[in-house]
Amino acid sequence: MSDHSIASVKRQALSQGVDPIDIDVLLAFALQKDRTFLFTWPETSLTPEQYSLFTDLLDRRAQGEPIAYLVGEREFWSLTIKTDTSTLIPRPDTEVLVETVLSHFDQQPIRCIDLGTGTGAIALALKSERPNWQVTGTDRLQAAVELARENAQRLKLNVDFETRHWCAGLAPDSVQVFVSNPPYIDVADPHLSQGDVRFEPASALVAGDSGLSDIQQIAVEAFVCLKENGALFFEHGWQQGEAVRSILQQSGFQQVQTVVDYGGNERVSFGFKRPSPKQ
């Protein structure tokens, strides 16, 4: 009779070359327990159904499928965000984008729009910290909008999500803050065939003009829609800081700056729409 105790199953799983932390996450998911349970009760045996689910998930992870898609969620900004293959998986470096916005705008009520919201993670994180803000997330994909709405409902955060491509249909001088993590990877980037991104939607990853075309379009459109003293914040590739600063400046933004991520790479650039000089 096979030993399907937690301890034995973990030992067997290690032979497949899967990261031990991933094994624990998948095992806890199959058992519908938290990871502490695995260490506290290692002699517990998996039922046949639990074992079958775990081995299936383990095989898929060994083929490179992202953990967030396998278990259907990812933590972001201490929020549990539901994920699926219609959107990008929220990443830790994107928390730098949230931090940067929060460091420049306080609790005073403002209108903030997250362009290309995906799971809604950025918009929901901002709303969790700034309950007085009117936060909206937009995405051109209806599936993403529906997922983001589900996340807002589960988290009980009052964020509106709507189907819209970038700033289309927004009134001039109507928004104080735009934030965006748009597609910014060049179509020829070899990383597209490596790791988790192989399983993520290319439409949310890839942009023309060396990955800068959507950033360029957003900068032009957002400048028109921003109120005076409003700001636009981008997440971008680690080698794109100089190019994004140039795009912001050419689009009319002032006080343009870049912030580094947790690995010390240029990751977030932003600029302000300042009042025009009086003639």
Of 2-11, 34-43, 171-180, 235-244, highest mean pLDDT: 171-180
Q: What is the pLDDT of residue 239?
A: 87
Nearest Cα residue to 127 out of 119, 115, 136: 136
Quick one: three-class SS letters along the chain? CCCCEHHHHHHHHHCCCCCHHHHHHHHHHHHCCCHHHHHHCCCCECCHHHHHHHHHHHHHHHCCCCHHHHHCEEEECCEEEECCCCCCCCCCCHHHHHHHHHHHCCCCCCEEEEECCCCCHHHHHHHHHCCCCEEEEEECCHHHHHHHHHHHHHHCCCCEEEECCCCCCCCCCCEEEEEECCCCECCCCHHHHCHHHHHCCHHHCECHHHHCHHHHHHHHHHHHHEEEEEEEEEECCCCCHHHHHHHHHHCCCEEEEEEECCCCCEEEEEEEECCCCCC
CA distances in angstroms from 204 to 211, 246, 250, listed in the order given: 11, 23, 25
Q: What is the per-residue pLDDT across 82-95, written as a single tens digit (0 to 9) for each?
A: 998 888 888 888 99
Per the prediction, the chain carries an average pLDDT of 87
Q: What is the per-residue pLDDT across 12-66, written as a single tens digit (0 to 9) for each?
A: 888 877 888 888 989 888 888 888 888 888 888 888 888 889 988 888 888 888 8
Q: What is the per-residue pLDDT across 134-191, written as a single tens digit (0 to 9) for each?
A: 999 999 989 999 999 999 999 999 999 999 999 998 999 999 999 999 877 766 666 6
Higher pLDDT, 18 or 234: 234
Q: What is the per-residue pLDDT across 96-136, written as a single tens digit (0 to 9) for each?
A: 999 999 999 999 999 999 999 999 999 999 999 999 999 99
- CB–CB of 10/27 below 8 Å? yes
Q: What is the pLDDT of residue 102?
A: 96
Strands 134-139 and 111-115: parallel
Angle between helical axes of 213-225 and 241-250 (0-180°, round to 10): 40
CA distances in angstroms from 161 to 60, 89, 101, 165, listed in the order given: 32, 18, 19, 12
Q: What is the pLDDT of residue 273?
A: 92
Burial (Cβ within 10 Å: 0-12, 13-18, ≥19) of residue 10? middle
Domain ranges of the chain: 6-63, 85-273
In degrees, rounded to 5, the angle at the alpha carbon of residue 216 between the alpha carbons of residues 90 and 143 is: 40
Residue 111 sits at φ, ψ, to 5 deg, of -100, 125
Q: Token pair 């992870």 is at which residue?
A: 61
What single-letter amino acid sits at 142?
Q
Q: What is the pLDDT of residue 194?
A: 64
Region 85-273: CATH code: 3.40.50.150
Rounded Cα distance between 273 and 251, Å, is: 10
Instruction: Match domain 6-63 to its CATH number in 1.10.10, 2.60.40, 1.10.8, 3.40.720.
Output: 1.10.8
